Amino acid sequence: MLNERVSAAKKIAIELHRAEDAIDEAMIRIAQLAATLPTARRETNMSAIVGQEAMSKVAHALAAAGDVRQLLTDAHLALTVTQKEVGLGTRMFGAGVKPPAAALADEGSNDQALAEVAALAFAKAS
């Protein structure tokens, strides 16, 4: 039973981090687009009116991506509660500080596999 929970936790952690990375990448791309639009307008000596609706849509897209990112970080925190509820313990070490696996194992985890899950699931800052 423990091995199944550890395996599930690993899968969840991998997909969570992929989702967090994807939204970060999307935000970067949207922000780059938001910077390029007024720069291109200025370089071509166009009126401020030109492209305003598009600029507004891009700004809204960036704000929406920020909302999505917040929801993912909320889900990440909720999963720490779930992790404890299913008997895997809580292993939260702050913003990207990854303790050595040996330190995790010494902290009372059931086995080295739990230490690996903790390191994978919660030490990576996104």
Residue of higher predicted confidence among 44 and 112: 44
Q: Evaluate whether 120 touches 13 at the Cβ level (below 8 Å).
A: yes
The answer to whether the Cα torsion of 67, 68, 74, 78 is positive or negative is positive
State residue 88's pLDDT score. Answer: 86
pLDDT, one tens digit per residue, over 7-26 is: 888 899 999 999 999 999 99
d(CA 70, CA 93): 19
The CB-side HSE value for 20 (13 A sphere, CA atoms) comes to 18
pLDDT at 112 over 50: no
pTM above 0.85, yes or no: no
The average pLDDT across 48-55 equals: 94
Helix, strand, coil % over all residues of the chain, rounded to 5: 75, 0, 25
